[in-house]
């Protein structure tokens, strides 16, 4: 199936849709396709389409996010924005957000791949034991960027993802780097109150110390921290125990 539109600069864009990748709970559909400009093959893209006033406005907001807060992160932590196209199709008013295709969705859960994932911040990979299987290339931690680093960069840009999970991570085909996608529920005015460094291999801090729920739970699911005991009482308080009479 091919979709053709004309842009403001009189260029003719067309996308040959090859597969339906996802149908969201909101009703938006995500397709993979090949983008051509004026008849010349350009690149692989992802098209996020929605019909009706509610979905059109939702896609407009996501496109504006790519034009503004997400712009410096494109090509590294998030896909590159190609364009927003609007018009009337069978079924009513339609909007189509076009982004570069980055790769396949993450197949393993963050928790399952937590050990390999935590190793990415070390200078050298752990030496494999003789009785263990070799780590597949897609899980070799030193060869890809970090999911937490990508999410942290997002927050520093003033954006909270709003629906962060394994479905919002794709692995770039060229280097297996994680790329964040799916910003339909994002908060573009997020003033992140991160209260501590996200240090790997440290005992798990209390959520009150991290002060950002999305970053905290992302680190918990990704097994960033080591299990550790936290003091129940602050150093300024004391507890006196007295024997109970029999």
Beta strand pairing call for 169-172 and 178-180 = antiparallel
What mean pLDDT is predicted for residues 140-156?
71
The residue among 158 and 10 whose pLDDT is bigger is 158
Residue 95 banded pLDDT, cuts 50, 70, 90: very high
What mean pLDDT is predicted for residues 86-97?
89
- Of 111-115, 146-150, 202-206, give the lowest mean pLDDT range: 111-115
The mean predicted confidence, pLDDT, of the chain is 79
What mean pLDDT is predicted for residues 215-219?
90
Count how many residues are written for the chain: 246
Interval 18-44: pLDDT, tens: 899 989 888 899 999 999 988 888 889
Helix axes 213-221, 147-156, angle to 10 degrees: 180
pLDDT of 242 reads 60
Interval 5-24: pLDDT, tens: 555 667 788 888 889 998 98
What mean pLDDT is predicted for residues 104-126?
55
Which SS3 state, helix, strand or coil, does residue 74 take? strand
pLDDT of 6 reads 53
Using a 10 angstrom Cβ sphere, with 0-12 exposed, 13-18 middle and 19 or more buried, the burial of residue 79 is buried
Asked if pLDDT for residue 182 goes beyond 90, the answer is yes
pLDDT of 89 reads 84
Compute the distance between CA of residue 76 and CA of residue 166 in angstroms, rounded to an integer: 18
What mean pLDDT is predicted for residues 239-243?
55
The set of residues, in sequence order, having a beta carbon less than 8 Å from that of 39 and lying 6+ positions away, is 12, 14
For residue 85, give both structure tokens: 């196209």
Give the CA-trace dihedral at 32, 35, 41, 42, to 10 degrees: -100
Asked if pLDDT for residue 147 goes beyond 50, the answer is yes
pLDDT of 244 reads 59
pLDDT of 243 reads 60
Interval 62-71: pLDDT, tens: 999 999 999 9
Asked if pLDDT for residue 233 goes beyond 80, the answer is no
Asked if pLDDT for residue 194 goes beyond 90, the answer is yes
């Amino acid at each position: 199936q091919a979709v053709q539109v004309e842009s403001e600069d009189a260029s003719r864009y067309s996308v040959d849709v090859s597969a339906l990748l996802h149908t969201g709970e909101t009703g938006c559909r995500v397709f993979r396709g090949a983008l051509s400009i004026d008849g010349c093959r350009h690149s692989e893209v992802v098209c996020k389409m929605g019909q009706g006033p509610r979905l059109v406005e939702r896609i407009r907001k996501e496109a504006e996010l790519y034009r503004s807060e997400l712009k410096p992160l494109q090509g590294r932590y998030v896909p590159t924005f190609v364009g927003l196209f609007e018009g009337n199709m069978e079924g009513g008013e339609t909007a189509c957000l076009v982004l570069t295709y980055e790769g396949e969705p993450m197949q393993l859960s963050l928790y399952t791949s937590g050990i390999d994932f935590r190793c990415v911040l070390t200078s050298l990979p752990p030496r494999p034991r003789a009785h263990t299987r070799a780590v597949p290339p897609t899980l070799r931690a030193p060869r890809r960027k970090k999911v937490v680093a990508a999410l942290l960069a997002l927050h520093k840009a003033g954006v909270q993802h709003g629906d962060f999970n394994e479905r919002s991570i794709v692995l770039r085909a060229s280097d297996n780097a994680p790329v964040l996608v799916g910003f339909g529920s994002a908060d573009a005015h997020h003033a992140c109150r991160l209260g501590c460094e996200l240090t790997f291999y440290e005992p798990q801090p209390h959520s009150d110390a991290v002060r950002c729920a999305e970053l905290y739970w992302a680190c918990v699911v990704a097994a960033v921290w080591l299990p550790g005991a936290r003091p129940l009482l602050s150093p300024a308080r004391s507890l006196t125990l007295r024997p109970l009479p029999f």
